[in-house]
Structure 1
Amino acid sequence: MKQKVIAIVGPTAVGKTKLSIEIAKAYNGEIISGDSMQVYKGMDIGTAKIKKEEMHGVPHHMIDIKNPDEDFSVADFQHSVQKYIKEIASRDRLPIIVGGSGLYIQAVLKDYNFSSEKRDDALTKKLEKEMDTYGIKVLYDRLQKVDPIQADKIHPNNYRRVIRALEVYEKTGLTLSEFQAQQQGASHYDSLLIGLEMDRPLLYERINQRIDVMIEEGLLSEVKQLMDNGYENYQSMKAIGYKELVPYFHGETTLEEAVEILKRNSRRYAKRQYTWFKNKMEVNWYKITPLTINEKFNDILLDLAGFLKS
Structure 2
Amino acid sequence: MEKHILLVVAGPTASGKTACAVELALLMNGEVISADSMQIYKGMDVLSAKPTRKEMKGVRHHLLGFVDPRERYTADAYRADAKFAIEEIVQRGKLPMLCGGTGLYINAVTRPMSFSEQSDEKMHEELMQIGATASGRKQLFDILREIDPDSAARLHENDVRRVTRAIEIFRLTGKTQTEQMRLDREREGDYREIIFAPDWPREELYRRIGVRVDEMIKCGLVEEVRRLIKDEERHPTALQAIGYKEIAAALRGEISMSEAVEWTKQATRHLAKRQLTWFKRDERVIWINAEGKTAREMAEEMHRMIVERFGCEVI
Bin of the TM-score, shorter chain as denominator length:
0.7 to 0.9
1:154 equivalent in structure 2: 160
* Residue 267 (structure 1) shift: 0.9
Deviations 1:155-202 (A, max 9, x none): 5xxxxx876643433566654455455356420100000111111111
* Residue 55 (structure 1) shift: 1.5
Gaps of 5+ in 2: 145-150
* Residue 51 (structure 1) shift: 0.7
Contact 1:139–1:163 under 8 Å retained in 2: no
* Residue 294 (structure 1) shift: 4.6
Does the residue aligned with 1:248 lie in a helix, a strand or coil? Answer: helix
The equivalences for 1:20-59 within 5 A come to 20-59=21-60
Aligned in 2, Cα 1:140/1:25: closer, same or farther, shift over 3 Å? same
Contact 1:247–1:258 under 8 Å retained in 2: yes
* Residue 268 (structure 1) shift: 1.3
| TM-score, structure 2 normalization | 0.84
Does the residue aligned with 1:300 lie in a helix, a strand or coil? Answer: helix
Aligned in 2, Cα 1:222/1:178: closer, same or farther, shift over 3 Å? farther
The equivalences for 1:66-215 within 5 A come to 66-114=67-115, 117=118, 124=123, 128=126, 138-145=135-142, 146=144, 148=152, 149=155, 152-154=158-160, 165-170=166-171, 174-176=175-177, 178-183=179-184, 185-215=187-217
Aligned in 2, Cα 1:118/1:256: closer, same or farther, shift over 3 Å? closer
2:299 equivalent in structure 1: 297
Contact 1:9–1:99 under 8 Å retained in 2: yes
Deviations 1:22-74 (A, max 9, x none): 11111110100111211112211121111112222111000110222222122
Aligned in 2, Cα 1:162/1:206: closer, same or farther, shift over 3 Å? closer
Contact 2:10–2:196 under 8 Å retained in 1: yes
Amino acid at match of 2:160: I
Does the residue aligned with 2:264 lie in a helix, a strand or coil? Answer: helix
Task: Report the Cα distance in structure 1 between the residues aligned to 2:35 and 2:132, rounded to whole angstroms.
Answer: 34
* Residue 241 (structure 1) shift: 2.6
Task: Report the Cα distance in structure 2 between the residues aligned to 1:301 and 1:99, rounded to whole angstroms.
Answer: 18
Aligned in 2, Cα 1:180/1:250: closer, same or farther, shift over 3 Å? farther
Q: Kindly report the root-mean-square deviation, in angstroms, between the aligned alpha carbons of the 2 structures.
A: 3.0
Task: Report the Cα distance in structure 1 between the residues aligned to 2:58 and 2:294, rounded to whole angstroms.
Answer: 26
* Residue 115 (structure 1) shift: 5.4
Aligned residue pairs total: 300
Aligned in 2, Cα 1:164/1:34: closer, same or farther, shift over 3 Å? closer
* Residue 88 (structure 1) shift: 0.9
Gaps of 5+ in 1: 156-160
Amino acid at match of 1:205: R
The match for 1:243 among 242, 245, 249 is 245
Contact 1:68–1:231 under 8 Å retained in 2: no
